[in-house]
Structure 1
Amino acid sequence: MSTPTVTAAAPELRRWTPPVVEVRRGTPATADLSGIAVLAVPVAPGEGADTPLQPRPGAADAAVRHGIDLAAVCAAEAVTGAAATATRLPVPAPEGGPQRLVVVGVGDSSPTALRRSAAALARAAGTGDVATTLADGVGPAGTRAVVEGFLLASYSPPVTGRKAAAEPPARRLVLLGEVALADVRHAEATAAATVLTRDLAATPSNLKDPAWMVAQVHEVAAAARLKVEVRDADRLRREGFGGLLAVGAGSASEPALVQVGWTPRARPGVPHVVLVGKGITYDTGGLGLKPRESMVAMKTDMAGSAAVLAAVAAAARLKLPVRVTGLLALAENSLGASSYRPGDVVRHYGGRTTEVNNTDAEGRLVLGDALAYADAVLAPDVVVDVATLTGAAGLALGKRHAALFSPDDALADQLAAAAAATGERVWRMPLVEDYRPALASDLADARQVVTTPGFGAGAVVAALFLRPFAGGRRWAHLDIAGTGRADAAEHEVTRGPTGFGARLLVEWLESVAAGA
């Protein structure tokens, strides 16, 4: 007979509400700006000493409205026009309009520069609604970058108890000029994907066990009209998902494999993409217990599954003409009497076996099950997995680039292009064939990790371990262990869970749809 589990009452989370984004025709001189606290206009670096600064759309109108010599004031405030800079100018406040004027440096006005500049505006504007011409005439990619940058830099994580929820820098962002509303709505969808990923990853693990994640999937799926199928622990046992069952064995919270899908209207040749996300809702390391300091951030060890869920929901919201199936491999790697052990042999879905060497290398075990299932049952045209998998990826590339592995050059190039477009940067790493023998086992098809002292290449070896589970499918692996969390805010990234991967996946899905 099992012993009842007694838990303390969990706190209720209050989530951040993003600013409303509006589009208004007109210039700072002609548009209705009543109720707007801040007017922000772009400037760019000049071409020499005679023209140190170039005003961009709306800057001249703002100067007239505030009755200033914009060039002189900007010179006095050392405004350079460099991207990701925002300067509040000391100017007279006209009656019946914005009381504050901010000039935003946009650099070369590339999407990356505009995204970072909009993020700088979000942090510099102070409280009150903001109107800006940053998106005037910059095209679809530029408009999307402006909206994403402002919304994502405004983000605050969920709060509990008596702590007041952080107010966004603005409750409303008004875009002035020639701005396509469709591009704004597109950017809201992609930013919402990142926000959802951040919210899920930021949720503390006394709330966030696999069952809670399943409930979140159902909630998201209901809003986006997605199809959901859940394999609970009993079904996992019947169908032979040994990796998920082994990892989750030591926890009172049972593992699950969640399948969530978006299917567009029937059309010949629609590609089928499967996204697989690591969903370890908390990682103690199991019997290979982590040091206390290493456990603090482990509520975010399910960030890959959150990014997958968010990407599938965004694909539905944007009605992308590509079939997308997300697999969320959910488990809690805990310490208990039934925890799996070093030396165990695990039988994965489909029959492949793994000799366990390190219970803190659990992510590859749950991903192996999900990848094998995708290959055998879902028959995808391409499969991409996303995981906070190895500390080695962070050591190799730091916190600004995820590690990208794929034996398929075209697929790797597509993902790298999506990364460049979204600012979620990746660096392709090699699948070194010479390292494969280091995973050989006397007992099983493979070892879980390399046991040779000083061997290194942990991220490469983990990718090599995963590759056979994908069968002969086109496959890529994103190790986001370094990029999934941030110690400080930078541009559109806020401190804490970053939401990395969600926008990258959506951008890549759009390229897949465009090429279908």
Structure 2
Amino acid sequence: MPQTWHAALVLTLGSLVATPVLALPVSFVTAAPPSTGAIALPVGKNGQIGEAASQVDRIANGAISRAITTAAFKGNPGDTLTLYAVGPYSRVTLIGIGEGANTRIGLEDFGGRVARAALEGQAATWAVIVPDAPAIADAGALVALGARLGSYEFPQLGKTARPHTDRPLRLHVANAAAASTAWTQRWQPVGDGVKLARDLISTPSNIKSPQWYTDYIRSAFEGVPNVSITVIDEKEAARLGMGGLVGVGQGSTRPARLLAIHYRGGAKDAAPISFVGKGITFDTGGISIKPGDGMWRMRYDMAGSAASMGAVLAAAKRGAKVNVVGVAALAENMPDGNAIRPGDVLTSMSGKTMEILNTDAEGRMVLADANWWTQETFKPSLLINIATLTGSARAALGDDYAALFHNHEAAAKRVEEAGAAVGENTWRLPIHPSTRADIKSDVADVKNVVEGGAPGASIGAAFIEEWVKPETPWVHLDIAGVAWANSRKPTIPPGAVGFGVKLFDEIISQSEGR
């Protein structure tokens, strides 16, 4: 039987213990800029500074404006200039904002750059002048969110993490009380959701089994109101007919799980929004084994499910007035003697059969059963799949866009616009009728790949769509290229991105009428 839980767990494996990295402390003040210490200032295009930064410059007897001119500091986004012992200040960090941080993305990026400067410096406290952004109600809180995301570090296992409590950020804003409320009630939970996703993705797979994952989620949601957690083990999944989920996991000694988080924040009878994510806790490719180079990164193959979990955590912690379901289809794809083989035929929960031509096309198989179970159980108003599904999506779109497929124009536009608003961009790719014809099988209903140069991302989406009911608005996001970062960006560290949490939070927020 499915299990409903509320429990706790510490990240351990034998003697290895991960000590959580504490985020930079953030506070908000309505006060004139300080006259000592370390300070971070926004600088606009061609070295222009706002009124608050001008106050700091006057305290420093014009030394900051002279330094900007002497260094030809243009204030372009991403430019930084650090000055030491400027007037009464021990350190002044100038951060370019270009035409102005008048968007959510610009404010978050500014906060991320401030956080990196604070972590690299040695000051006891940091004063931060928040950019003027009159059109953005929560400007100060969004800078704080950017700082939270930009300062993220996954702890080294077995070592005590470096605390960040010795570098508090004091954000100077017009209304400290309003900024503090916006932060604690709206944006800090989003930071918590992204952190959860990044922690899950970053955890090594010798720790991160499907069962460990479910225990970790129970811990993360411990005490969060209006949440129920359902775990379906492999025996129950087999009884329900989930041949795809069970089949992918049967090559591992650590069996599959289906995990669902149901947050009830809306009307009792309102259909939930559902985020159904691929949760392959490690992907060797199975019998169709991957090349060795880069296989270590396959601990990230559950990034879609992590985004689903993080988005529900954010919604629940801020008390969103919407019903939301996050589902993680969890399995480890291994090549032992019990593993599925190319040429096998499996029967899914819907009764539809799938021919397995390549065991490395496993994500679509677990999503098939997860989608069907989610629709049968919750009858969602919107079903969004998110998965590190195909290398072809990464080859087509790089690390700039997630591939988007859909069966519903309004739903697709909704996801596109949400992604653009938060900096998690998507790009539409097609499911052509010929692609649907290509996946028809001679020995089953459908086959999981098409050999010979077929459009891989579209083939994967077409396969998943077979388990989407016609009446269900559906969007599929292939995040293979955007879930892992090889270099640092203002709010994204190298490694796990947590892509999808902010996008999903924006969809939930829009559903609330915000």
Normalization by structure 2: what TM-score? 0.91
Task: Report the Cα distance in structure 1 between the residues aligned to 2:13 and 2:109, rounded to whole angstroms.
Answer: 42
Q: Call closer, same or farther: CA 1:460–1:143 in 2, change over 3 Å.
A: farther
What corresponds to 1:454 in structure 2? 453
What are the equivalent positions in structure 2 for 1:54-133 lying under 5 Å apart? 54-94=48-88, 98-108=89-99, 109-111=101-103, 112-125=105-118, 126-128=121-123, 129-133=125-129
Deviations 1:42-82 (A, max 9, x none): 2211xxxxxx4321241111112223343222111221121
Task: Report the Cα distance in structure 2 between the residues aligned to 1:385 and 1:115, rounded to whole angstroms.
Answer: 26
Question: Following TM superposition, by how much is the alpha carbon of 1:170 offset from its aligned partner in structure 2, in angstroms?
Answer: 6.3
What corresponds to 2:476 in structure 1? 477
Match of 1:511, SS state, is helix
Number of residue-to-residue matches in the alignment: 491
Conservation of the 8 A alpha-carbon contact between 2:244 and 2:365: yes
Match of 1:275, SS state, is strand
User: 2:485 matched to 1:486?
Assistant: yes
Match of 1:419, SS state, is helix
What corresponds to 1:16 in structure 2? 21
Task: Report the Cα distance in structure 2 between the residues aligned to 1:289 and 1:115, rounded to whole angstroms.
Answer: 40
Match of 1:506, SS state, is helix
Match of 1:204, SS state, is coil
What corresponds to 2:9 in structure 1? none
**Which AA in structure 1 matches 2:237?**
L
Deviations 1:463-504 (A, max 9, x none): 111112111200001111111111111221110111111111
What corresponds to 2:240 in structure 1? 239
Match of 2:221, SS state, is helix
Contiguous gaps of at least 5 residues in structure 1: 1-6, 46-51
Deviations 1:319-374 (A, max 9, x none): 11110011111110012111001111111112111000000110000000000112
**Which AA in structure 1 matches 2:143?**
V
What are the equivalent positions in structure 2 for 1:173-188 lying under 5 Å apart? 173-179=169-175, 180-185=179-184, 186-188=186-188
Question: Following TM superposition, by how much is the alpha carbon of 1:384 offset from its aligned partner in structure 2, in angstroms?
Answer: 0.4
What corresponds to 1:53 in structure 2? 47
**Which AA in structure 2 matches 1:284?**
T
Normalization by structure 1: what TM-score? 0.91
**Which AA in structure 1 matches 2:211?**
A
Question: Following TM superposition, by how much is the alpha carbon of 1:513 offset from its aligned partner in structure 2, in angstroms?
Answer: 2.2
Match of 2:112, SS state, is helix
Contiguous gaps of at least 5 residues in structure 2: 1-11
Task: Report the Cα distance in structure 1 between the residues aligned to 2:138 and 2:224, rounded to whole angstroms.
Answer: 24
Question: Following TM superposition, by how much is the alpha carbon of 1:231 offset from its aligned partner in structure 2, in angstroms?
Answer: 0.5
**Which AA in structure 1 matches 2:150?**
A
Match of 1:286, SS state, is coil
Conservation of the 8 A alpha-carbon contact between 1:221 and 1:227: no
Question: Following TM superposition, by how much is the alpha carbon of 1:210 offset from its aligned partner in structure 2, in angstroms?
Answer: 0.4
What are the equivalent positions in structure 2 for 1:477-516 lying under 5 Å apart? 477-514=476-513
What are the equivalent positions in structure 2 for 1:227-376 lying under 5 Å apart? 227-264=228-265, 266=267, 270-376=270-376
Question: Following TM superposition, by how much is the alpha carbon of 1:140 offset from its aligned partner in structure 2, in angstroms?
Answer: 2.7
Task: Report the Cα distance in structure 1 between the residues aligned to 2:13 and 2:28, rounded to whole angstroms.
Answer: 47
Question: Following TM superposition, by how much is the alpha carbon of 1:160 offset from its aligned partner in structure 2, in angstroms?
Answer: 1.5
Task: Report the Cα distance in structure 2 between the residues aligned to 1:10 and 1:239, rounded to whole angstroms.
Answer: 38
Question: Following TM superposition, by how much is the alpha carbon of 1:143 offset from its aligned partner in structure 2, in angstroms?
Answer: 3.3
Question: Following TM superposition, by how much is the alpha carbon of 1:114 offset from its aligned partner in structure 2, in angstroms?
Answer: 2.4
Question: Following TM superposition, by how much is the alpha carbon of 1:169 offset from its aligned partner in structure 2, in angstroms?
Answer: 9.3
Task: Single out whichever of 421-430 and 125-134 deviates more from structure 2.
Answer: 125-134
Instruction: Name the % identity.
Output: 33
Match of 1:246, SS state, is helix
Task: Report the Cα distance in structure 2 between the residues aligned to 1:127 and 1:424, rounded to whole angstroms.
Answer: 33
Question: Following TM superposition, by how much is the alpha carbon of 1:191 offset from its aligned partner in structure 2, in angstroms?
Answer: 1.7
Task: Report the Cα distance in structure 2 between the residues aligned to 1:340 and 1:23, rounded to whole angstroms.
Answer: 56
What corresponds to 2:383 in structure 1? 383
Task: Single out whichever of 363-372 and 60-69 deviates more from structure 2.
Answer: 60-69
Superposed structure 1 runs of 4+ greater than 6 Å apart: none
Task: Report the Cα distance in structure 2 between the residues aligned to 1:137 and 1:182, rounded to whole angstroms.
Answer: 18
**Which AA in structure 2 matches 1:251?**
S
Q: Call closer, same or farther: CA 1:169–1:499 in 2, change over 3 Å.
A: farther
**Which AA in structure 2 matches 1:255?**
A
Task: Report the Cα distance in structure 1 between the residues aligned to 2:268 and 2:400, rounded to whole angstroms.
Answer: 38
Conservation of the 8 A alpha-carbon contact between 2:130 and 2:173: no
Deviations 1:369-390 (A, max 9, x none): 0001122221111110111111
Task: Report the Cα distance in structure 1 between the residues aligned to 2:286 and 2:305, rounded to whole angstroms.
Answer: 20
**Which AA in structure 2 matches 1:464?**
A
What are the equivalent positions in structure 2 for 1:124-273 lying under 5 Å apart? 124-125=117-118, 126-128=121-123, 129-135=125-131, 137-138=133-134, 139-140=136-137, 142-162=139-159, 165-168=161-164, 171-179=167-175, 180-185=179-184, 186-225=186-225, 226-264=227-265, 266=267, 270-273=270-273
User: 2:431 matched to 1:431?
Assistant: yes
Q: Call closer, same or farther: CA 1:141–1:414 in 2, change over 3 Å.
A: farther
Task: Report the Cα distance in structure 2 between the residues aligned to 1:336 and 1:362, rounded to whole angstroms.
Answer: 15
**Which AA in structure 1 matches 2:254?**
S
